[in-house]
């Protein structure tokens, strides 16, 4: 395919997916002041870029204020983001806080620093959001981050919990949004190359790479290669939850359940093996642009019942 056409399609896809996520979860409203957290990585650059495009054509008015937290990691190129943002002509604030020294002092050598570092960063960003009068805090997490979080929580936290597109912050004071929630990481990587964002490496702190997250990310990519559409189906599943077929007693009233006398497709199929949609049907469901019910198509193949 012609490279310009391909790039044009990528831009349209990014704008469409971000716009759809914003509408689906009512992320941005008239008069909002959105604090865009820019780390200098590809995802947050992409978020800012697409939000600016959408802002120019949106039927509502909202403001963007970019915030970067300079944590004083050795080698952090402090001039890169101000120069980039000044050229863009966007409002911005650089918050200088030496969390690096604190983390280095408190965490013993060789131990991972991320937990304390991110707790400090979170507190600072909440404070800055308050000072700037921001009504929303936008983070650059994308579809692959959300799925990785889901699997990590299952594997290591024993919880069915992902990363929400919109939620009130843990201090109860702010609304956090993730406008890139529907966007595939590979699209953001390609967009960053194309737009030549001045990427700042994320390894400056010298902390260990997040090995588990990397491994889960790799596992998802391997699956996707072998079974195209699997990532999309897993992502759709997060929006098609059937509490009656899970086991959380807080989500479904198992204790008080009585026969209704009314037949229902969603009822228990007793001894029948649980049918799963055929690969062709799931590919159709995932590829038709809707994030609707992936179990809708009629074609099913049985899977062996677990004993
Ligand atoms: S990788 Fe470094 S900068 Fe990022 S959270 Fe961990 S310690 Fe902080």
Structural domains of the chain, ranges and CATH numbers in brackets: 3-208 (3.40.50.620), 227-252+277-294 (no CATH)
pTM summary value: 0.88
Reduced 3-state DSSP string for the chain: CCHHHHHHHHHHHHHHHHHHHHHHCCCCCCCCEEEEECCCCHHHHHHHHHHHHHHHHCCCCCEEEEEEEECCCCCCCCCHHHHHHHHHCCCEEEEECCHHHHHHHHCCCCCCCHHHHHHHHHHHHHHHHHHHCCCEEECCCCHHHHHHHHHHHHHHHCCCCCCCCEEECCCCCCEEECCCCCCCHHHHHHHHHHHCCCCCCCCCCCCCCCHHHHHHHHHHHHHHHHCCCHHHHHHHHCCCCCHHHCCCCCCCCHHHCCCCCCCCCCCCCCCCCCEEECHHHHHHHHHCCCCCCCCCCCCEEECCCCC
Q: Is the CB of 238 under 6 A from ligand 1?
A: no
pLDDT of residue 28: 98
Q: Do 70 and 96 form a contact (C-beta atoms < 8 A)?
A: yes
pLDDT of residue 208: 63
Q: Which residues of the chain have pLDDT under 50?
A: 286-307
* Span from the CA of 99 to the centroid of ligand 1 (angstroms): 10
pLDDT of residue 293: 36
Pocket probe mutation, ligand 1, options 100, 108, 205, max atoms within 8 Å of Cβ: 205
| Nearest CA, atom 5, ligand 1 | 114
Q: Is the CB of 112 under 6 A from ligand 1?
A: no
pLDDT of residue 280: 56
pLDDT of residue 291: 41
pLDDT of residue 96: 97
pLDDT of residue 211: 82
* Span from the CA of 102 to the centroid of ligand 1 (angstroms): 12
* Span from the CA of 65 to the centroid of ligand 1 (angstroms): 23
pLDDT of residue 206: 75
Closest atom of ligand 1 relative to the 117 alpha carbon: 8
* Span from the CA of 147 to the centroid of ligand 1 (angstroms): 21
Q: Is the CB of 102 under 6 A from ligand 1?
A: no
Q: Do 231 and 223 form a contact (C-beta atoms < 8 A)?
A: yes
pLDDT of residue 284: 53
Q: Is the CB of 117 under 6 A from ligand 1?
A: yes
């Amino acid at each position: 395919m012609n490279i310009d056409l391909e790039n044009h399609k990528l831009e349209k896809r990014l704008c469409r997916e971000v716009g759809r996520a914003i509408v689906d979860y009512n992320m941005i409203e008239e008069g909002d002041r959105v604090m865009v957290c820019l780390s200098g990585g590809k995802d947050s650059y992409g978020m800012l870029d697409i939000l600016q495009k959408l802002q120019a054509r949106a039927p509502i008015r909202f403001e963007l204020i970019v915030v970067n937290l300079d944590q004083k990691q050795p080698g952090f190129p402090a001039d890169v983001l101000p120069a980039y943002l000044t050229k863009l002509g966007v409002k911005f604030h650089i918050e200088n806080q030496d969390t690096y020294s604190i983390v280095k002092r408190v965490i013993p050598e060789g131990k991972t620093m991320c937990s304390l570092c991110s707790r400090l960063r979170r507190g600072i960003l909440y404070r800055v959001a308050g000072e700037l009068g921001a009504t929303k805090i936008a983070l650059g997490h994308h579809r692959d981050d959300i799925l990785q979080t889901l699997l990590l929580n299952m594997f290591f936290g024993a919880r069915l919990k992902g990363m929400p597109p919109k939620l009130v912050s843990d201090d109860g004071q702010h609304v956090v949004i993730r406008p890139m929630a529907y966007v595939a990481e590979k699209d953001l990587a390609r967009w960053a190359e194309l737009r030549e964002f001045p990427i700042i490496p994320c390894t400056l702190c010298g902390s260990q790479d997040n090995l588990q997250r990397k491994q889960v990310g790799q596992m998802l990519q391997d699956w996707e290669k072998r079974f195209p559409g699997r990532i999309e189906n897993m992502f759709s599943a997060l929006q098609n939850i059937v509490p009656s077929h899970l086991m959380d007693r807080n989500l479904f009233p198992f204790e008080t359940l009585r026969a209704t006398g009314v037949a229902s497709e969603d009822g228990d199929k007793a001894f029948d093996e649980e049918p799963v949609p055929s690969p062709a049907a799931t590919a159709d469901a995932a590829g038709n642009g809707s994030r609707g019910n992936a179990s809708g198509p009629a074609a099913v193949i049985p899977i062996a019942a677990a004993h």
